[in-house]
Amino acid sequence: MDFGFVLPNHVGIEDPFEVVSVGVHAEAAGFDSLWVNHHVINAGYVRERLGTRPYHDALILLTWLASKTHHARLGTSVLVLPYLHPMVLARELATLDQLAQGRLVVGVGVGSLPDENAAMGVPYAGRGRRADEFLQVLGRLWTEEEATFEGEHFAFEDVVSSPKPLQRPRPPILVGGNKRASLRRVARFGDGWHPLMLSPEGVRDRMAYLRDQAATAGRPHAATRVSVRLDMSQVHPGSVQEYADAGVSELVVGLGTADVDAIRAEIDRFAEAMLASR
């Protein structure tokens, strides 16, 4: 089992250098991957939690973190695709993958905050179809010298996007979400699944459907990489084995506090209990 740690860029810490330092500490403690959260504005439950306190940008932080770390994979948990544009994101992520020397993992989702969609002028209804097209566009921009696409939301001809990612044919795309629509998106367009706060039983209940959908899509590999995000308190030796038995290959843990000293202490405690014996 691999273990990832989620940086606290979403809990209102004022100093972004402190946020990055937590990621550096987690890599030194033995975590296999480091992740950042993504929203664009403080809306809905984010605003209720933070008010006007900072929610630091995912890709800027991840780029800075890439320059301060050496071997941990760097992931997004998750980029909300309807708030972004695939041509801009394709180049940003390709550049980041180059700077990170091929360590990037692209976690994506469709979002669940109608207020944020409304503020950005992006329809909440139909966001799933938009995300499906978005992922197809990313794939073409990353793998084709001159890309063409015709869809409901995006259409272009002979577009050149350069640089390409260092990882070929592309960085792994992990699709977030716990519902069947998300599992179908994994099967059709993803390289793995990144659910949130699911129990081992919850993972197991969905894996048969995911494997069936991936086989139908002719992409059975899409059901083999399962990275579950949890609160750190949910992970102990017994639960790790239960997740492994359910088909999980990675557990990504985080904490909901803005106390950086407490986060570092919990990282050390977790590392001693869960990582030192590997």
Consecutive H or E run containing 63: helix 58-68
Q: Which of 191, 196, 222 is nearest to 209 (CA)?
A: 222
What global pTM score does this model have?
0.97
CA–CA dist 269, 256 (Å, integer): 16
Domain total of the chain: 1
CATH of the domain at 65: 3.20.20.30
Q: Buried b / exposed e across 182-217, counting CB within 10 Å, b at 16+?
A: bbbbbbbbbbbbbbeebebeebbebbeebbebbeee
> Which position has the token pair 């909901």?
256
66-113, pLDDT tens digit by residue? Answer: 999 999 999 999 999 999 999 999 999 999 999 999 999 999 999 999
221-244, pLDDT tens digit by residue? Answer: 999 999 999 999 999 999 999 999
**Cβ within 8 Å of residue 18, ≥6 positions away:** 260
**pLDDT reported for residue 62:** 98
- Estimate to the nearest angstrom the gap between the alpha carbon of 109 and the chain centroid: 8
Q: What is the pLDDT along the chain (278 residues), one digit of tens a residue?
A: 999 999 999 999 999 999 999 999 999 999 999 999 999 999 999 999 999 999 999 999 999 999 999 999 999 999 999 999 999 999 999 999 999 999 999 999 999 999 999 999 999 999 999 999 999 999 999 999 999 999 999 999 999 999 999 999 999 999 999 999 999 999 999 999 999 999 999 999 999 999 999 999 999 999 999 999 999 999 999 999 999 999 999 999 999 999 999 999 999 999 999 998 77
Do 222 and 252 meet the contact criterion of CB atoms below 8 Å apart? no
Domain residues for the domain of 223 are: 2-275
- The DSSP secondary-structure symbol of 110 reads -
Do 254 and 245 meet the contact criterion of CB atoms below 8 Å apart? no
**pLDDT reported for residue 277:** 76
Pairing label, strands 155-159, 147-150: antiparallel
